[in-house]
């Protein structure tokens, strides 16, 4: 059974919403989930450059981008903040263990060999399955990294929960019903 899976939903933000719903269900079922999900944008002063990660299972929320100012048309990843998030998640995996690691995406940092890539490897070496979001932009890099060991999942709660049931050691089944 493949213990590395990816999810790609077509609409903007759909993968984030889908992963958040799955994590909420898993946590309600008592599954120990660590990792990082994109935090929902706040309705206050958020700019187009605001990208926050919510570290599972209990926070904190960390801003991982830098706003380059009003004249800028682009954003800049805050590599230090991203590495802080990776470090916190890695420490949690080592200290607390987990049944599953969930990450909002395998993105540019991971494609370049940084970011949460080391956490993915750490989890898989410990026998902890990993589920990550994946965009078409970074699919080739992910497939090269996974070396044929990753399974793409249908972007729906039932398919993801079925996969989770197959890879997470649990006595009680993970159900689609609340």
Judged on CB neighbours under 10 Å (0-12, 13-18, 19+), 137 is exposed
Q: What is the model's pLDDT at position 78?
A: 80
Q: What is the model's pLDDT at position 72?
A: 65
Q: What is the model's pLDDT at position 169?
A: 74
CATH code for the part of the protein at 4-41+48-167: 3.40.50.300
Q: What is the model's pLDDT at position 174?
A: 56
Q: What is the model's pLDDT at position 49?
A: 61
Break the chain into its structural domains and give their ranges. Answer: 4-41+48-167
How many Cβ atoms from other residues are within 10 Å of residue 117's Cβ? 19
Q: Are 42 and 35 in contact (CB under 8 A)?
A: no
Q: What is the model's pLDDT at position 79?
A: 83
Nearest to residue 151, comparing CAs of 131, 137, 178?
131
> How many CA atoms within 13 Å lie on the side-chain side of 68?
8
Question: pTM higher than 0.85 for the full model?
Answer: yes
Per-10-residue mean pLDDT, the chain, length 178: 91 93 96 94 58 92 80 72 94 96 96 96 96 96 96 96 89 50
């Amino acid at each position: 059974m493949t213990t590395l899976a990816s999810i790609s939903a077509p609409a903007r933000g759909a993968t984030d919403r889908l992963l958040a719903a799955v994590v909420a269900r898993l946590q309600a079922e008592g599954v120990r989930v660590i990792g990082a999900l994109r935090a929902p944008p706040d309705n206050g002063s958020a700019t187009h450059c605001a990208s926050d990660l919510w570290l599972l299972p209990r926070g904190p929320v960390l801003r991982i981008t830098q706003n380059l100012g009003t004249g800028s048309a682009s954003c800049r990843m805050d590599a230090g903040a991203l590495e802080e998030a990776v470090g916190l998640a890695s420490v949690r995996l080592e200290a607390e263990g987990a049944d599953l690691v969930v990450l909002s995406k395998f993105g540019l940092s991971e494609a370049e060999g940084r970011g949460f890539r080391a956490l993915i490897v750490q989890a898989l070496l410990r026998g902890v399955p990993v589920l990550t979001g994946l965009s078409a932009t970074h699919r080739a890099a992910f497939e090269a990294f996974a070396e044929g060991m990753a399974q793409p999942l249908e972007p729906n709660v039932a398919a993801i929960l079925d996969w989770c049931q197959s890879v997470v050691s649990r006595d009680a089944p993970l159900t689609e019903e609340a």
